[in-house]
Structure 1
Amino acid sequence: MVVVVAETIGNVTVPLGGPYKVVLLPLVWALLIGLAWSAAAARLPKAVAVQEDEQHLAAAVLQPALLLFIAKLGLLVGGSLPKILASGWALVFQEFGHFFGTMVFGLPIALLLGIKREAIGATFSVGREPSLAIIGEKYGMASPEGRGVLAEYLTGTVFGAVFIALFAGFVTSLGIFNPLALAMGAGVGSGSLMAAASGAIAAQQPPEVAKDVAAFAAASNLITTTIGTYFTLFLSLPFTVWAYGVLEPILGRFAKVDTTGASPVSTRGHAATTFSLPALVLVWVVAGTIALFGNAVTYKTPVSLDVIVGLALILVPVAVGHVVYVVTKGIVPAVVWVSVVAMAMTYPAMPFAADISAYTAKINFVALATPLLAFAGLSIAKDLPAFRALGWRIVIVSLMANAGTFLGATLIAQVFMHKPV
């Protein structure tokens, strides 16, 4: 129901004066509607309220449903691999923007606002699950650093997709960046944030460029996902700790706010939920079927036999990637296996690659993202009490870190991409 309403609203362009604008996609409406519905649980009749157990279920369903979106992007990457490889050093070095942009943009603001060691946890990364694990093991979640990374995690969950969609859309409207550089900036290592950012960028491009935006965002996100944990552990975190030691005596004196007495916040619900194979298949089929509605309404591709075949082909790398993930005992994340299988299916040298690309092209990648943001929105309300306990200052810092990872990678990619698309 959330997706139906969101797709019916459709794309809404908000002018900001002159050529500047923000395009609000159905995925943004889906997140906001889901959030409003789940947050109103106490005021609604029980029969229609999204109870806390259902909110946890929505959060758990988000990860397997995300694999469909990853598969679709992998299929786009496979066909665009020659073009992606031709981008050369841009795709390699822009990752430094992802991993250091959070600190460069977020840490000074945190110190000026008077935040102390919470700033380390909030700005050394975009604060997804691997970051929670790193800080939890090194400092403990009850520490200032633990409160900081949890603030980043919750801010990304509650506001991240909406914020990054608005921010990426505005930066795109400036017209100063190559769309492919913006696409690389969108690959921040979070599926939902990448979906929101790349969708906002693609919405302002012609169809052929929009396809390349999705492919480059997926390639960047894959790199960020695979090396992200090691990069943040061995480079980003030590560098942020060092930068804090240098900058805090200089910037911290401008605002003295005590954050050391904040209460620790429970991380219940952040652990992964394990589904049986039949349950996973049900999630994949339901999420894919829901996406076909948005594909028909917003992207004008009615459900037909060809579209159903396209969805079935998207499910192939999802299923194969999951099986490989289970067989290899989770040594490598499932998203990596799904991406690799999907890329292989449409790599130009592979048999039937053109046919697979033609069928799967009938399903827009943004349509597959809308159910993800609906699940995310329905899951958010359970985190709102903990979110409010963390204070507005660290929320601003977390949003600056999200902006920094996008803009930092975009700036570096732009340096290596001098030719316009």
Structure 2
Amino acid sequence: MSTAHAAATPVAAAPEAGAGKLIKVFIIATACVLLAELIGIVNVPMGAHYKVVLLPLLWALLIGAAWGLASPKLPGAIGVSHELQAISAAVLQPALLLFVAKLGVLVGGNLPKIMEAGWALVFQEFGHFFGTMVFGLPVALLLGIKREAIGATFSVGREPSLAIIGEKYGMASPEGRGVLAEYMTGTIFGAVFIAIFAGLIAGLGIFNPHALAMGAGVGSGSMMAAASGAIAAQFPPEMAKDIAAFAAASNLITTTIGTYFTLFLSLPFTVWAYGKLEPILGRGRSVKQVEVKGEVSHDPGVKLAFPTLLVVWVVSAAMSLIGNWIVYKTAPDAQVIAGLGIMIGAVIVGYGIYKLTRGIVPAVVWVSAIAMLLTYPAMPFAAEVAALTGKINFLAMTAPMLAFAGLSIAKDVPVFRSLGWRIVVVSLMANAGTFLGATIIAQFFMHPV
């Protein structure tokens, strides 16, 4: 959509989520989580010495997506309407903050170890931001895609990337269609794809688990959770906390500096690389221009007032108890509830600071900072806080948010279908590139050759 058209078209105010519909979303999401945790961890053998580990978080995502897609044929009482799918998408963002708090308390206790990574943690970010282009752009050109390739490969295509391309080129431009394809692919397939891909790479046994964990910090909470979980499943259980901590630290860096890095470095570099490579790789190759049908930029989403956010955090915490009990064998006793209460408190304080500072710095940064302070070894009661919050497995906290993500997918499928299979392949290559690029760079600095 062009800038001029966007300015001429009024944008509706975001509607509030009704209590009844919100409760229905919670009930259906809880059912998805329960089914996913009952399926549990599934190991798929791949030869004599290798396996792919499929975690409950993937089942939660797939069950939610299947439920949403099947809803037109289901009775209204158990169906997930387009409005409920929009509410699920809105709930996902605050639910992610609770997961961020869990990662924060892991990072805080492991900060001395993380700091030892030194330059590996700093320079692996270049892999995140340039890996998308290095792996995705040549494939796009070989498949005959033209300037859509710029939008699809300059980043992993999350919300800030949509804003950057929308402002610079307009969403109806080829670059706009490309970034929308990357966004849609990440939304629908991102967590599943990156979990399987990260698990495959981890299973090769050639990368340090900390390097793999840093590669998982791609700048998307759900994708980072899926990747770090798949990596952790390939190593001894005692390494799971370290892997989560390194992934969270990398993801925090990617999230905080990502907008500026993509705007001033990776986007100009991708445009330059396209100009150099297109005459070579794209010569004689072209496909019909992708057309996005319908308006995709005017959906105002759903508004969640602060009391509703509190409910989301409490319910998401309660949902995490399901997997913590069924899969990780920790009953919801007083200490577990206290640990969840501490994390909810960190989210409330961090979100409050975010609002008081008018959103200049993302809420995820404040929540992470508060949570890290609680378990930083030099802080009073750090050991006690770490012990209480440590009773909740971080993988148990991923299933609820991926259930919400799954339930929200169906509303985007019509737009996704209009984007074409070639650009989907390119988007998956870009997602693989950001993980593998960062992992390789981190490995080099941790174990220089």
Fold similarity call, TM over 0.5: yes
| TM alignment of 1:87-236, pairs within 5 A | 87-236=117-266
Cα pair distance change 1:271/1:181, threshold 3 Å: farther
Cα pair distance change 1:34/1:60, threshold 3 Å: same
**Aligned partners of 2:101 and 2:367 also within 8 Å:** yes
Deviation at 1:208, TM superposition (A): 2.4
Distance in 1 between the 2:274 and 2:50 partners?
35
Distance in 1 between the 2:37 and 2:51 partners?
20
Q: Which runs of 5 or more residues in structure 2 are unaligned?
A: 1-30
Q: Of 331, 337, 341, which residue of structure 1 is paired with 2:366?
A: 337
Deviation at 1:112, TM superposition (A): 0.3
| TM alignment of 1:11-410, pairs within 5 A | 11-253=41-283, 255-259=285-289, 262-263=291-292, 266-268=295-297, 273-410=302-439
Cα pair distance change 1:180/1:271, threshold 3 Å: farther
SS at match of 2:397: helix
The aligned residue for residue 11 of structure 2 is none
Distance in 2 between the 1:102 and 1:36 partners?
29
Cα pair distance change 1:39/1:226, threshold 3 Å: same
Distance in 2 between the 1:412 and 1:240 partners?
19
**Aligned partners of 1:147 and 1:265 also within 8 Å:** no
**Aligned partners of 1:34 and 1:377 also within 8 Å:** yes
Identity rate of aligned residues, in percent?
Answer: 71
Distance in 2 between the 1:389 and 1:263 partners?
6
- Relative to the length of structure 1, the TM-score reads 0.97
**Aligned partners of 1:266 and 1:386 also within 8 Å:** no
SS at match of 1:258: coil
The aligned residue for residue 446 of structure 2 is 417
**What number of residue pairs does the alignment pair up?**
418
What code does the residue aligned with 1:359 have?
L
Distance in 1 between the 2:333 and 2:110 partners?
26
**Aligned partners of 2:162 and 2:176 also within 8 Å:** yes
**Aligned partners of 2:154 and 2:262 also within 8 Å:** yes
**Aligned partners of 2:86 and 2:301 also within 8 Å:** no
Distance in 2 between the 1:272 and 1:397 partners?
28
What code does the residue aligned with 2:280 have?
I
Deviation at 1:258, TM superposition (A): 2.5
Distance in 2 between the 1:265 and 1:67 partners?
32
SS at match of 2:140: helix
- Relative to the length of structure 2, the TM-score reads 0.91
SS at match of 1:253: coil
What code does the residue aligned with 1:370 have?
A
**Aligned partners of 1:62 and 1:376 also within 8 Å:** yes
What code does the residue aligned with 1:23 have?
V
* RMSD, matched Cα: 1.2
Deviation at 1:216, TM superposition (A): 0.2
Which 10-residue stretch deviates more, 373-382 or 269-278?
269-278
Distance in 2 between the 1:271 and 1:52 partners?
13
SS at match of 2:395: helix
Deviation at 1:254, TM superposition (A): 5.3
Distance in 2 between the 1:171 and 1:88 partners?
23
Distance in 2 between the 1:156 and 1:111 partners?
20
Q: Which runs of 5 or more residues in structure 1 are unaligned?
A: none
What code does the residue aligned with 1:42 have?
P
SS at match of 2:43: strand
